[in-house]
Amino acid sequence: MVIMDTSIIGVALPRMQTDLGFTPQGLSWVFNAYVVAFGGLLLLGGRLSDLFGARRLFTAGWVVLLGGSVLAGAAGNAGVELAGRAIQGAGAALIAPAALTLLMMLFGHEPRELTKALALYGAAAPAGGTAGVFLGGLITEYLSWPWVFYLNVPIALAILIATPVVMPAGARRRGSIDVVGALTVTSGLALAVYGIVRAPDAGWLAGTTIAALAAAAVLLGVFVLVQAKRREPLMRLGIFRAPNLAAANLAQLLLGAAWIPMWFFLNLYLQQVLGYTAFPSGAALLPMTIVIMLGMVVLAPRLIARFGPKTMTVTGLTLLAVGMAWLAFVRPEGSFWVDVLPASIVAALGMSMAFIPTLGTALSAARPEEGGLASGIVNTSYQVGSALGLAAITALATANGAGRLTDPAALTGGYSAAFVGAAVVAALGAVLAAGTLRSPRPADQDRVASASP
């Protein structure tokens, strides 16, 4: 559900633009408001989960997400819509790290069960993304765009009823909350995304672009200084001394920066170039999702057990780069069966191979009492990578013709450039993973395998 809320609005955006008066530049913030709040507050969510108990934060997150969904669905103007989306993102930032911590609490005592549970957790992310596109198309075509938000309401209520029954309570810990850290990291990320999104129109050397990016750098620098000096920081910097934790999070960041732009522009290619309507466009992404789910649940655990997490991470990112480079050959007069399906299957297989070992490595590297922080960091890495990657590759696509909506050839050129950019990011991830991830000793590899498939 948390990932679905990033994608379900995609097909509905044109109608939301008409009804709420969004400018073309402002429209991207319907996505970014959610992702920036989500990514920026994940560290705080992880810290609160460790302090107050994962089940309490999980419940609180669903209450916040429900309220944001109602506000976003009822919005009568752009400002209220963006406020609703930011509140949804804040709720998601409480849910995601608490969910991973609860999963570890439920299944951590039995490695085989934990392997299965984390495989399903990993598969749920791409399934949620594609389900969002599919349901967003269905709802937009046959109901109206507010229902892409109201859909969350009955699901949230059902989860709130079930959580006290099926989830362990967890213990509270004493400690303080780093409000300054939460504000600086969230504001810094928001300004970084804003500067990159605005740059294609304002210019990379324009005063507004430079000011936004400089302010982002200052705020993120202040965040690091605050974390280094606080007695109880939002993110203990020493956690990155744990072997492989920084490398695994870097791989997750680059994975998000490559995968989300690929999915975003593939959906636009299907609709704006091949002429698919909302519902068939969502259905066209189902084969890719099925491959990801089977890869994560069935194939990845066996391959990781045999070859180790480092080998599978590098292999997965390499396959992802190959699939995206293949997608760069899309044609204005192309077809789904030739231009989209084969390349998307290769990319999906690469995603399934890389996501699970990097997630498991990042989680297993931290101390048990910092499970919420570790899950917050790895979620943050992926979401920040998604937001910044989409912003940067959107700028690349726009510069190469993606803004010329009435010209299929120009659109295809822009989308092809986006796929090339995403392929470069994935290839960079493969090279960095090969150079920074350590191959664990046999005893450590068993521990990683018990923390991820």
Rounded Cα–Cα distance for residues 117 and 114 (Å): 5
Shared domain for 143 and 287, answered yes or no, is yes
Strand blocks (E) in 245-292: none
Last residue of a domain, one of 196, 211, 233: 233
Under 8 Å between Cβ of 183 and 41:
no
Under 8 Å between Cβ of 285 and 130:
yes
Shared domain for 339 and 207, answered yes or no, is no
- Read off the tokens for 185: 């990291």
Shared domain for 217 and 319, answered yes or no, is no
Rounded Cα–Cα distance for residues 452 and 80 (Å): 40
Rounded Cα–Cα distance for residues 84 and 340 (Å): 34
Assign residue 347 the CATH number of its domain. 1.20.1250.20
Shared domain for 188 and 244, answered yes or no, is no
Shared domain for 172 and 32, answered yes or no, is yes
Close Cβ partners of 220 (under 8 Å, ≥ 6 residues apart)? 184, 185, 188, 189, 192
Close Cβ partners of 110 (under 8 Å, ≥ 6 residues apart)? none
Last residue of a domain, one of 168, 200, 233: 233
Rounded Cα–Cα distance for residues 324 and 328 (Å): 6
Last residue of a domain, one of 203, 233, 263: 233
Close Cβ partners of 35 (under 8 Å, ≥ 6 residues apart)? 6, 89, 193, 383, 386, 387, 390
- Read off the tokens for 138: 């269905």
Rounded Cα–Cα distance for residues 413 and 403 (Å): 11
- Read off the tokens for 13: 């955006």
> What total of structural domains would you count in the chain?
2
Answer positive or negative: Cα dihedral of 336, 341, 344, 348: positive
Shared domain for 331 and 379, answered yes or no, is yes
Rounded Cα–Cα distance for residues 373 and 122 (Å): 18
Q: Which of 270, 292, 266 lies closest to 281, judged by CA?
A: 270
Shared domain for 213 and 256, answered yes or no, is no
Shared domain for 327 and 185, answered yes or no, is no
Shared domain for 189 and 122, answered yes or no, is no
- Read off the tokens for 406: 């009435």
Shared domain for 342 and 405, answered yes or no, is yes
Shared domain for 400 and 434, answered yes or no, is yes
- What crossing angle do the helices spanning 245-268 and 341-364 adopt, rounded to 10°? 150
pLDDT of residue 5: 87
358, HSE (Cβ side, Cα atoms, 13 Å):
33
Give residue 130's domain range.
4-177+234-451
Under 8 Å between Cβ of 277 and 141:
yes
For residue 332, the Cα-to-chain-centroid distance in whole angstroms is: 29
Q: In residues, how long is the chain?
A: 453
Shared domain for 52 and 104, answered yes or no, is yes
- Read off the tokens for 208: 């507004």
**Running along the chain, 453 residues long, what does each successive block of 10 average in pLDDT?**
82 81 74 80 82 91 97 92 94 90 83 76 75 78 88 95 88 74 83 75 84 93 90 80 86 92 85 81 80 85 88 96 96 94 95 88 75 76 81 85 86 94 97 88 50 46
pLDDT of residue 339: 94
